[in-house]
Amino acid sequence: MHEMKQWRGYGFRVNPFVFFVSAGLIVAFVAFGTIFTGATAQAVDAIQATIVTKLGWIYSLVVGALLVFVLAVLAVPKFRRLRLGPADSRPEYTYFSWFAMLFSAGMGIGLLFYGVAEPVLHYSNPPHTPGGTADAALEAMRLTFFHWGLHAWAIYIVVGMALAFFSYRHDLPLTIRSAFYPVLGERIYGIYGDLVDVLAVFGTMFGISTSLGLGVMQVNAGLAALGLVAEDIVNQLLLIAGITAVATVSVMSGLNKGIRLLSRFNLMAGLILLGFVLLIGPTFFIARALVGEIGAYLEDLVGLTLRTDAFHGIAWQRDWTLFYWGWWISWSPFVGMFIARVSRGRTVGGFITGVLLVPTMLTFVWMAVFGNAALHVELFGTGGMVAAVNDSVPGALYAFLDRLPLTPISQVLATVVIMGYFVTSSDSGSLIIDILTSGGDPDAPLGQRLFWALTEGAVAATLLVAGGLQALQTAALTTALPFSFVLVLMMVSLWRGLRADSAPETDHVSALAPARARPHEAHGAEPGHTASHAHNPAGE
């Protein structure tokens, strides 16, 4: 039987290769970026240009394939009935807590940052059509729904379902490597598995740090709008320090206390802000527009998915669609593992339906309320939203709230919600990186949790000081390229696993493992006896 490598010392309990290589790469990148800011920016820009120009179509194909795969799994009744855990397992969390954690981890800060800014930017500068018109407004919302809709959650579903399936049904470690057991067999415990987990840690850290950087910029803009502080790097660093301290307390308290309670608070506070804008704003206009925008989104879903702009130039797609696909893919180890962590006991069908539809609809409602209300101001009200967004994307939300009644109250509430999502993203990311680097241990030592929580804050702060936030976003896009191929292999592996477990009277692990790596062959056991780390859901 293969055991996961482990190193203990100084309050840590980690997989030595995954921990030291990933931590070393992160520290080296930050140090180099701080010392050689100009050279780093040039190198990253060159890498981004190469990827987008020559390989951008890969993102479109992979993301489209992931959505088709998820729908295909949902269409198979025997797959839908399988549980993400033993046959008698049941969900640990209520639907409300589960949806709150999904939404907080999956989108969070991004919705607040782009909820006003993206629709207005698409309205003023849509691809291939004139901006500033009623048609441009509809196109703006369709594109916004496209970037934040089904595709993003399909990516998270594949990772989350694969991890939950192989970890909770077959007692494999809760790490990315376990998703490849049907393909690699026992080799997941070797260098191949280590490299997959290192890549997942690297992408998660950079994706989280990008989000935290955006969040700090927006909180700073909000406090500046309230007249409390200036909008500058010093205050952004102070905010990072303060909010990271709160996140550290949360992550050290664990999933059931800190993250669950914060997620519920975030969702409730966010719904209050959403309800305020919906009721104070053009309520019936928003509702009417939302229905039409969902129809427009679904009508052109295939065309949007496969759009590559081969004849129109790559600039718009580079700045928007490809960036989002890269960002969601680089985030997928983090969000997917977090979703797996909170989804034990749910059926495959319930898991897919819940993760795909509920957060997507909440996202559409959020974007419709804030986006349509902002566009209504621009088209039928006092105007000025295009100029405000062009002046400051982080300040776009506050510029919009300034045009509504009760401005100070709504701006304070928005700032509280952003800070709440900042803390949730930070402590969720710390928890996931901790699990990855400890070989799947969900209860790593407190000192280890503290290390990763502080590291995230330090990375975001260092990159803000170095002016490297844009480079960090590009690094997330770059990390997504190799992980795209990991996701393709993950679909193959998960399909094999689902087929094996849905077959009647199947020895699940023996059926899942490749012939050359089945446990009884790898360890000398007699045929018909599985390795001790492979759980048979039927209890046989």
Per-residue pLDDT at 540? 29
Q: What is residue 537's predicted lDDT score, i.e. its pLDDT?
A: 29
3-class SS of residue 151? helix
Q: Which of 171-180, 203-212, 257-266, 287-296 has the lowest mean pLDDT?
A: 257-266
pLDDT at 522: 38
DSSP element (H, E) containing 162: helix 150-168
Residue 310 — pLDDT band, cuts 50, 70, 90? low
C-alpha dist (Å) from residue 398 to 374, 395, 427, 463: 11, 5, 26, 25
Q: What is the pLDDT of residue 471?
A: 64
Three-class SS of residue 8? strand
Beta strands 7-9 and 12-14 are antiparallel
End-to-end alpha-carbon separation of the chain, Å? 19
Residue 367 CB partners (closer than 8 Å, separation 6+): 111, 115, 118, 119, 141, 144, 145, 148
CA 337-340-342 angle, to 5 degrees, is 115
> Would you state the structure tokens that stand for residue 443, as one six-digit string?
């209860």
Nearest to 153 by CA among 105, 209, 212, 96: 105
Task: Assess contact for 43 and 466: CB atoms under 8 A.
Answer: no
C-alpha to C-alpha distance for 193 and 513, rounded to whole angstroms:
15
DSSP 314-361: SHHHHHTHHHHHHHHHHHHHHHHHHHHHT-TT-BHHHHHHHHHHHHHH
- The answer to whether 9 touches 442, Cβ cutoff 8 Å, is no
The pLDDT of residue 105 is 63
For residues 517 and 530, what is the distance between their CA atoms, to the nearest angstrom?
Answer: 12
- Which has the minimum average pLDDT: 101-110, 380-389, 504-513? 504-513
pLDDT on residue 162: 96
Q: What is the pLDDT of residue 459?
A: 83
When the pLDDT of each residue in the chain is averaged and rounded to a whole number, the result is: 83
Residue 507 has pLDDT above 50, yes or no: no
Banded pLDDT at 154 (limits 50, 70, 90)? very high
The CATH architecture of the domain made up of 10-501 is: Up-down Bundle (1.20)
Cβ atoms within 10 Å, residue 227: 8
- How far apart CA 83 and CA 344 sit, in angstroms, is 8
* Residue 310 three-state SS: coil
